Amino acid sequence: MPNIAFLGSGNMAGAIVDGLLAKQAAAPADLVCLGGDDDTATKLQARTGIRVATSLDALLAGADTLVVAFKPQHLASADPRLASLTAGKLVVSILAGKRLTSLARAFPQARNIVRTMPNTPGQIGAGITAWCARAPLAEKDHAIVQTLLGALGAAVEVPETDLDAVTGLSGSGPAYVFEFAAALRDAGLAAGLTRDTAEKLSVETLLGAARLLARKQIDPEILRDQVTSPNGTTYAGLQRMKAGDFRGLIRETVLAATARSKELSQDT
């Protein structure tokens, strides 16, 4: 891997670094970061051994690729020297809601710009990241992007017009799953289980079901029907979900998040 610089050193930047090192896709000497006013950069260095730059110039000197990982709202006030300092470099943004047009204004001389939408399971290498590029990627740059995003888990290329829907589904999706896990736990409590038992059962049920779905690679409705006996216990539960328009609620949830993503990503 070429030298990779991280402008920002928070959770997602740390997750990429951890994944790259765990997969031996990069060595600590290949990676350098520059944090903000907090101590996240020094903590990341202490944990991983990567370098910490003392200035923007030092960060980008010798770097081939820049991962932009600061808070999205800071893009408008980013150091204007980034325009020249990133000339000829590949820029990969993990800034939620920042479109390629906005990124191109901040990095006008980059050789290419990639916008990504990762999700929080990337912190343990179990994420899914959607991405798009300003222009078709050269073979070398495509390999860099695949390696960087592969550090977080799976990756899929999509048109930029799909990224708001991606945000509503997989970007926000982990929160929906966590809420469902909490609902299962609370339902178990209502049915008479202890909290510890209800929590363990809900987490392991979600984990096992997701693994089964991924391994079988068939429609979830088929697996659902394999669990369901005519007029049995699962059937009774599913009928209650149907009566409550469970699918309609999930659809409205994703569409609400998608609509909010569109609002937040409007260029200013």
Structural domains of the chain in order of their starting residue, each with its CATH number: 4-159 (3.40.50.720), 171-264 (1.10.3730.10)
pLDDT score of 265: 84
Mean pLDDT of 248-255: 98
pLDDT score of 28: 96
Single-letter residue type at 78: A
Residue 137 three-state SS: coil
User: In this structure, are residues 126 and 95 in contact, taking their beta carbons and an 8 Å threshold?
Assistant: no
User: In this structure, are residues 60 and 5 in contact, taking their beta carbons and an 8 Å threshold?
Assistant: yes
pTM, rounded to two decimals = 0.91
Residue 267 has pLDDT above 70, yes or no: no
Q: Is 109 exposed, middle or buried (0-12, 13-18, 19+ CB in 10 A)?
A: middle
Residue among 13, 6, 15, 9 nearest 122 (CA): 15
**Tokens representing residue 31 in the block:** 């990676």
Going by pLDDT thresholds of 50, 70 and 90, the confidence category of residue 92 is: very high
The answer for residues whose C-beta is within 8 angstroms of residue 205's C-beta and 6 or more apart is 184
Q: What is the pLDDT of residues 132-187, one digit of tens each?
A: 999 999 999 999 999 999 999 999 999 999 999 999 999 999 999 999 999 999 99
Going by pLDDT thresholds of 50, 70 and 90, the confidence category of residue 93 is: very high
Tell me what percent of the residues of the chain surpass a pLDDT of 70: 99
